[in-house]
Amino acid sequence: MTRKGSLRFIAVTLTLFLCLLTTHPNFCTADSEVRCMESERHALLNFKQDLTDPSNRLASWAAAASDEDCCDWVGVVCHNRTGHVLKLRLRAFYPLYDELTTDDAQLDTQYEAYERSVLGGKINPSLLDLKHLIYLDLSYNDFGGAHIPKFLGSMGSLRYLNLSHARFGGLIPRQLGNLSNLHYLNLGDSNYYNDLYVENLQWLSGLPLLQHLDMSSANLSQVSDWLHDINKLPSLLELQLSYCYLSGFISPIPSSINFSSLTTLDLSYNSFENSSILFWVSGLHNLVSLDLSHNQFQGPIPVHLHNLTSLGHLDLSSNTFNSSIPNWLYSFSHLEFLNLRENNLQGTISSSIGNLTSVISLDLSTNEHEGKFPRSLGKLCKLRVIRLSDNKWSQEISEIFESLSGCVSNGLEILDLSNAQLSGQLTDELGQFKNLVILSLGNNSISGPIPWSIGNLSSLRSLKLETNQINGTLPPSFGHLSKLESLNIYSNMLEGVVSEVHFTNLMRLTKLVASQNRLTLEVSDNWNPPFQVNNLVLGSWILGPKFPSWLCSQEQLSILDISNTGILDAVPPSFWNLSSQLTYLNLSHNQIYGEIPNISMILSYSSIIDMSSNNFTGVLPCTSSNVGVLDLSDNSLSGSISHFLCYKMNESKRMSYLNLGRNLLSGEMADCWMMWQNLFTLNLGNNNLSGSIPTSIGYLIYLGSLHLYNNKFSGKLPSSLKNCTNLVTLDIGKNEFVGSIPSWIGHRFSSLVILSLHSNNFYGYIPEKLCSLTSLQILDLSNNKLFGSIPRCIDNFNAMATNNNSNGPLFLLEQSIGYGTSMLFETALLVIKGKVLEYSTILQFVKSIDLSKNNLSGKIPEEVTSLQGLQSLNLSFNILIGRIPDNIGVMGSLESIDFSANQLSGQIPQSMSSLTFLSQLNLSNNNLSGKIPSSSQLQSLNASCFIGNKLCGAPLIENCSIIDVKPNVENKRSKDFGRLEVDWFYVSMALGFVVGFWAVLGPLLFNKQWRIMYFQFLDHLGYKLWGVVAQTWLHCK
Amino acid sequence: MAPLSLFSVFVTFLLSLTPALSTNSEGNALHALRRRLSDPTNVLQSWDPTLVNPCTWFHVTCDSNNHVIRLDLGNSNVSGALGPELGELKHLQYLELYRNEIGGKIPEELGSLKNLVSMDLYENKFEGEIPKSLAKLKSLRFLRLNNNKLAGSIPRELTSLSNLKVFDVSNNNLCGTIPVDGPFATFPMERYLLPFSSLTLSSVNILPFYLHFMDY
């Protein structure tokens, strides 16, 4: 079978070769006497007529000059003697991306050129007049989803038909099965834009000569027996059925495989699960290339593959194979390309990997491999690509460098060892990889300095060392890396000075991501950097105190982060002009002063601007409607906000996040929120804004977070606020709002997590409707004029009743910005444990109720004890009466309780001793009495927590008198004998009994005479008694 | 000139120290503790190391200068061991780690918690000896190490803890004699409660003992 197959293969190749030999020289003879047929010339012109050709590729196909020879037209090949059109080569040239060589900017230009060059429109049946056409290539054009014309099936001479990547759609016509001469059929689309499908593949049986079949991205899900139909193609050499919606069911599996000459099989991007269906693959002994990637294969790497020893290319990536790499795989000595990435492969790598002597590219990344990588890797002299990232190698990086230091070091182009649990230091051996283009070592625990030898990597285009513990200075040899385009050293411990020398030859640098280091940039004032960067991320470097004016020369900037860099200067005006291209600008956490001009020039879609925590003054700048995020908080901006809000009222604002908090803004809020419908976060807190909230606030229907904290807003809450039904945070504390707490808050804001109305003039009852806020975690109504009792329905606050936190952090913003993700968290100022603290990243865990400083009366409802997730409960400064709920001990999460300054009475419940997290307690100034329960926790608290009551016991100095002491009921779980106390009543009773007993019995035991006397006395007493009883009995009778 | 340059060197030195002083060493120490502990009930989930200080973390209390003064993790189902970094919590007053499954040795570094008032490590699985360094905790009033697996003797040095009010090492594998100096002498034996049932005199010198100074 094998021999027969290979013979056939050779025969076919020879035939093709001979064909080429006989026809090829004639293609080139321009001065041929033979001219094309008039009928065929017409056919071509008709064909052209129905095509769209925006770039005029077919300009040479001119109708005007009738004597024009169509054999000279672009893409037309004629027979040298007969003059018949043999070939139409109308492929558009799609730019190929190669990680090693392609320049991003170049690729963009190429792609634009490609898009202009595509042909489209209709395919005219005039093609049928090209009776001798053997070759038709329309690939990479764009026919916009048109059907593949059925008439193509009548072009019986066709040997080569390529309609790939041309955006054909609909049913693949079965008429193609009439092309009995076809050797090559390509309907595939590796970009998956095609929308083709088939109902069956029986028509394939009409193509007995077919050697190459590519139907990638056509939907074959309706074909249950595709393998049977393919099996009718005995000449098949290449089969590509990638992304064909094939699943595991093949019924029944053919008993023998007719296409055993197959050299290439691509079944990637399907839904195969069970690798046992692959047993037929084991018969394909000539297979050179096998791609089973992006399926759902499970279990071990299928043993059926073990005799495919001719394989040069094996891709099993993105499945869920979970074995270790089988030993037979290491014997595939022809293997050049091995991709096993993104599986669950486990275990260590055998040193037999050194037998894969042909291997050029090795990708084992994103698996569960562990242990050390074998030194035999160094024997694989042809290696150019090594990807071992995202595994658990736990190895020293120097060991890997050492093992690669032999013959591998010269050829290596890509080395990816990121996120691989590597430690140790970078050694000078790094310098030997002279041809290295990409080096990725990010997300490891690599320490020590960057070796000087890094400057030897003269081919290096991308260097990633981010998130390690690399320290020391940046070696000036960096300046030698003349090909370097992307440098990422984000989040290391680098320090020291970076100067112009470091950038001497870095002409091609476009990405410099280096924040979270403590590097100091020292360059001359008029430095003109050799590079033009897109991404410049230098956060937490020391760039100041002067503003780095060289930035103004960077005209390609799209991402700029110079936050926290010690700048104490004004921004030069030319910088503001530059910023027109920025999508991300972060100047925050400096001491930049001066006014901010109108940022209308920033035109990038949804750009992010963060200038918070500086000393900017003057009025608020107006911004382009395209700005998505604007953070100007924590500056000294003053004046009104109306001009800002009402700027370009006819344009809908893109902005989703607006933070103007912590400034000196004043005046009223203009009624201009109509165009701000995309707002998700609005923070105007900590300003001097006044007046009432305008009605148009109701337009902000996506608003999730509203902070107006600490202003002078007044009036009632507008009823239009009801429309903001997505509110998660309503923080309007410390203002001058009046009126009652609107009960609609309860049913309109069903997602509310934080409700803070404290320090206003809200008046009246706490509405029972508030209890419908089942997501509520933080309720702060303190310091208002509320009266009445605490609603008993507070046990409806489900989120406070549980310790489970299924919620993730409360994100206000999560945006990826090229080099990483920018995350902004909701914040809240909370009084917990007697201190004002700002919560952000962990806010989702906080559960707190503060009703203090009102006029609330009645008892503390027992229902409060259902809120067992509550961390802090503050009811102080009210006029509450009655007892502290007896089972308060079940509120096991409580860390802080403040019931001070009420009129609570009775004893402190014993159960309070089981609150083991309690670290802040204030019960002072009530009418509590009795002994303070004892526990390590309660005794560790300050005595001042209990004063102003009639309490006794530790930690108060007042001892409890004996009568006050109740038997101590210690927490049942306690095995602590510390509080075991003796009740002296029982002790003395026992003691009394013992003394009395022995005082009588003791002498009798030890003195014989007394004993005799005692028993004689008893006898005598007995007789006397008997006499009295008998006499009485007789008398009665 | 020389003194001036010396002075400037000194100033530079001081300046170079400033960032070190302002770093979040207490937060780092607590986060290191978190990494050592297994926390099945997520009581430490709020311990986010990216925050500037640990003062908002649950079970952690700070003073007004944002120094950690309390660590309240009693009865919280954590297991694992303590590490030397706890010694970084220089301002800690209350170390409440009782009723957990914490094992390993009591780190010697706890002796540097100069402000510690209460050390409650009772009902855990601590092993090894009671570190002598605890004698440096001059403010200590409550020292409860009972119900662990501590071995060795009670360090004599503890007699210098003049503020000690509660000392409980019962139910361990301690041996040797009870100290009689310092706070151990202040309280007459009648004021201790000795649970005779657990006192095994049969094995000489092995005294699982219990001292409870009732005077607090």
Q: Is the pLDDT assigned to residue B111 strictly greater than 50? A: yes
Tally the residues of chain A. 1037
> What is the structure's pLDDT at B23?
61
> What is the structure's pLDDT at A247?
82
Distance CA A610, CA B3 (A): 46
> What is the structure's pLDDT at B10?
40
Select from B58, B94, B210 the Cβ nearest to the Cβ of A871.
Answer: B58
Mean pLDDT, residues A186-199 taken together: 86
Residue B147 in contact with partner chain A when CB distance is under 8 A: yes
Percent of chain A topping pLDDT 70:
87
Residue B72 lies in a domain: yes
| pLDDT per position as a tens digit, A638-660 | 999 999 999 988 889 999 999 99
Select from B48, B96, B147 the Cβ nearest to the Cβ of A936.
Answer: B96
Residue B51 lies in a domain: yes
Domain ranges, residue B34: 13-212
Confidence of residue A963 (pLDDT cuts 50, 70, 90): very low
> What is the structure's pLDDT at A16?
44
Region of A619 on the Ramachandran plot (φ > 0 left; ψ -120 to 50 alpha; else beta): beta
Which helix H or strand E contains A10, and what residues bound it? helix A2-28
Chain B residues whose beta carbon lies within 8 Å of the beta carbon of residue A837: 55-56
Question: Which pair of tokens denotes residue A531?
Answer: 């590079």
Q: What 8-state DSSP symbol labels residue A916?
A: T
Question: Which pair of tokens denotes residue A576?
Answer: 């503001």
Chain A residues whose beta carbon lies within 8 Å of the beta carbon of residue B75: 916, 973
Smallest CA–CA distance, residue A463 to chain B, in Å, is 26
Residue B72 in contact with partner chain A when CB distance is under 8 A: yes
> What is the structure's pLDDT at A1033?
53
Q: Do A837 and B212 touch (CB under 8 A)?
A: no
Smallest CA–CA distance, residue A840 to chain B, in Å, is 9
Q: Where are the alpha helices (DSSP H) in A760-862?
A: 798-801
DSSP string spanning A426-457?
--GGGGG-TT--EEE--SS--EEPPPGGGGG-
Distance CA B95, CA B116 (A): 8
| Of the candidates A709, A895, A648, A621, the residue with the CA atom closest to the CA atom of residue B72 | A895
Distance CA A625, CA A604 (A): 10
Chain B residues whose beta carbon lies within 8 Å of the beta carbon of residue A954: 216
In terms of C-beta density within 10 A (0-12 exposed, 13-18 middle, 19 or more buried), how is residue A743 classed? middle
Q: Give the predicted TM-score (pTM) of the model.
A: 0.77
> What is the structure's pLDDT at A37?
85
Chain B residues whose beta carbon lies within 8 Å of the beta carbon of residue A845: 45-46, 58
> What is the structure's pLDDT at A998?
58
Q: Are A880 and A927 in contact (CB under 8 A)?
A: no
Select from A803, A954, A978 the Cβ nearest to the Cβ of B212.
Answer: A978
Query: What residue of A is the nearest CA neighbor of B145?
Result: A976
In terms of C-beta density within 10 A (0-12 exposed, 13-18 middle, 19 or more buried), how is residue A455 classed? middle
Q: What is the largest CA-CA distance in chain A?
A: 171
Q: Give the residue from B16, B35, B52, B72 with the most A CB atoms within 10 Å of its CB, the best one to mutate.
A: B72
Q: Is the pLDDT assigned to residue B202 strictly greater than 70? A: no
Q: Which amino acid is at A117?
A: S
Distance CA A219, CA A198 (A): 7
Distance CA B27, CA B49 (A): 7
Q: Are A211 and A239 in contact (CB under 8 A)?
A: no
Q: Is the pLDDT assigned to residue A993 strictly greater than 90? A: no
Chain A residues whose beta carbon lies within 8 Å of the beta carbon of residue B62: 835
Report the range of poorest mean pLDDT among A11-25, A45-59, A279-293, A690-704. Answer: A11-25
**Number of domains chain B is built from:** 1
Residue B54 in contact with partner chain A when CB distance is under 8 A: no
Select from B58, B62, B170 the Cβ nearest to the Cβ of A895.
Answer: B58
> What is the structure's pLDDT at B212?
42
Residue B88 in contact with partner chain A when CB distance is under 8 A: no
Smallest CA–CA distance, residue A414 to chain B, in Å, is 33
Mean pLDDT, residues B164-193 taken together: 71
| pLDDT per position as a tens digit, A228-243 | 889 999 999 999 999 9
CB pairs under 8 A between A and B: 92
Residue B112 lies in a domain: yes
| Of the candidates A208, A169, A202, A219, the residue with the CA atom closest to the CA atom of residue A185 | A208
Q: Is the pLDDT assigned to residue B190 strictly greater than 60? A: no
Confidence of residue B208 (pLDDT cuts 50, 70, 90): very low
Distance CA A204, CA A219 (A): 16
Strands A135-137, A160-162: pairing is: parallel
**Strand ranges (DSSP E) for A269-326?**
289-291, 298-299, 313-315, 320-321
Q: Is the pLDDT assigned to residue A975 strictly greater than 70? A: no
Mean pLDDT, residues A978-1004 taken together: 53
What lies within 8 Å, CB to CB, of A634 at 6+ separation is A612, A613, A614, A661, A662, A663
Confidence of residue B87 (pLDDT cuts 50, 70, 90): very high
Distance CA A229, CA A214 (A): 14
> What is the structure's pLDDT at B210?
41
Confidence of residue B196 (pLDDT cuts 50, 70, 90): very low
In terms of C-beta density within 10 A (0-12 exposed, 13-18 middle, 19 or more buried), how is residue A694 classed? middle
Distance CA B6, CA A1029 (A): 117
Residue B1 lies in a domain: no
Helix, strand or coil for residue A1020? helix
Distance CA B121, CA B73 (A): 10
Residue B6 lies in a domain: no
DSSP string spanning A546-587?
S--GGGGG-TT-SEEE-TTS---SBPPHHHHHHGGG-SEEE-
What lies within 8 Å, CB to CB, of A19 at 6+ separation is none
Q: Do B58 and A839 touch (CB under 8 A)?
A: no
Strands A821-825, A811-816: pairing is: antiparallel
Query: What residue of B is the nearest CA neighbor of A838?
Result: B56
Smallest CA–CA distance, residue B46 to chain A, in Å, is 6
| pLDDT per position as a tens digit, A305-342 | 998 999 999 999 999 999 899 999 999 999 999 999 99
Q: Give the residue from A613, A976, A980, A984 with the most B CB atoms within 10 Å of its CB, the best one to mutate.
A: A976
Query: What residue of A is the nearest CA neighbor of B69?
Result: A919
Query: What is the ipTM metric for this complex?
Result: 0.81
> What is the structure's pLDDT at A338?
96
Distance CA A45, CA A127 (A): 10
Q: Is the pLDDT assigned to residue A1022 strictly greater than 80? A: no
DSSP string spanning A792-819?
GGGGG-HHHH-----S---EEEEEE-SS
CATH label of the domain that carries residue B78: 3.80.10.10
User: Nearest-5° angle of CA A945, CA A946, CA A952?
Assistant: 145
Q: Do B61 and A839 touch (CB under 8 A)?
A: no
Report the range of poorest mean pLDDT among A457-461, A578-582, A959-963, B205-209. Answer: B205-209
Q: Do A917 and B76 touch (CB under 8 A)?
A: yes
Query: What residue of A is the nearest CA neighbor of B216?
Result: A954
Q: Are A493 and A516 in contact (CB under 8 A)?
A: no
Report the range of poorest mean pLDDT among A335-344, A390-399, B152-161. Answer: B152-161
> What is the structure's pLDDT at A7?
44
Q: Are A611 and A635 in contact (CB under 8 A)?
A: yes
Report the range of poorest mean pLDDT among A174-178, A580-584, A614-618. Answer: A580-584
Smallest CA–CA distance, residue B45 to chain A, in Å, is 8
Tokens 């022995």 correspond to A998
Select from B45, B55, B98 the Cβ nearest to the Cβ of A805.
Answer: B45
User: Nearest-5° angle of CA A889, CA A893, CA A898?
Assistant: 70
Mean pLDDT, residues A347-361 taken together: 94
Percent of chain A topping pLDDT 90:
69
| Position with higher pLDDT, A1010 vs B214 | A1010
Mean pLDDT, residues A826-844 taken together: 87
| pLDDT per position as a tens digit, A686-724 | 999 999 999 999 999 999 999 999 999 999 999 999 999
Residue B142 in contact with partner chain A when CB distance is under 8 A: yes
| Of the candidates A667, A716, A672, the residue with the CA atom closest to the CA atom of residue A698 | A672
| Of the candidates A841, A631, A829, A834, the residue with the CA atom closest to the CA atom of residue A733 | A829
| pLDDT per position as a tens digit, A68-78 | 788 889 999 99
Name every residue in A having a CB less than 8 A away from some CB of B.
Answer: 518, 803, 805, 833, 835, 837-842, 845, 871, 895, 916-920, 936-937, 939-940, 954, 973, 975-978, 980, 982
Query: Rounded to whole angstroms, what are the CA distances from B131 to A99, B109, B118, B140, B207?
Result: 60, 9, 16, 14, 18
> What is the structure's pLDDT at A765?
96
Q: Is the pLDDT assigned to residue A19 strictly greater than 50? A: no
Question: Which pair of tokens denotes residue A448?
Answer: 């020590």
| pLDDT per position as a tens digit, A533-552 | 999 999 999 998 999 999 98
User: Nearest-5° angle of CA B174, CA B177, CA B181?
Assistant: 120
Distance CA A509, CA A482 (A): 9
Residue B172 lies in a domain: yes
Q: Do A916 and B70 touch (CB under 8 A)?
A: no
What lies within 8 Å, CB to CB, of A644 at 6+ separation is A620, A621, A622, A623
Q: Do A895 and B72 touch (CB under 8 A)?
A: yes
Mean pLDDT, residues A919-943 taken together: 92
Q: Is the pLDDT assigned to residue A432 strictly greater than 50? A: yes
Q: What is the Cα A821 distance to its own chain's centre?
A: 8
Q: Is the pLDDT assigned to residue A990 strictly greater than 80? A: no
Q: Give the residue from A540, A840, A940, A952 with the most B CB atoms within 10 Å of its CB, the best one to mutate.
A: A940
Residue B205 lies in a domain: yes
Q: Do A977 and B210 touch (CB under 8 A)?
A: yes
Rg (CA), chain A: 43
> What is the structure's pLDDT at B195?
36
Q: What is the residue-averaged pLDDT of chain A? A: 87
Residue B67 in contact with partner chain A when CB distance is under 8 A: no
Smallest CA–CA distance, residue A1018 to chain B, in Å, is 42
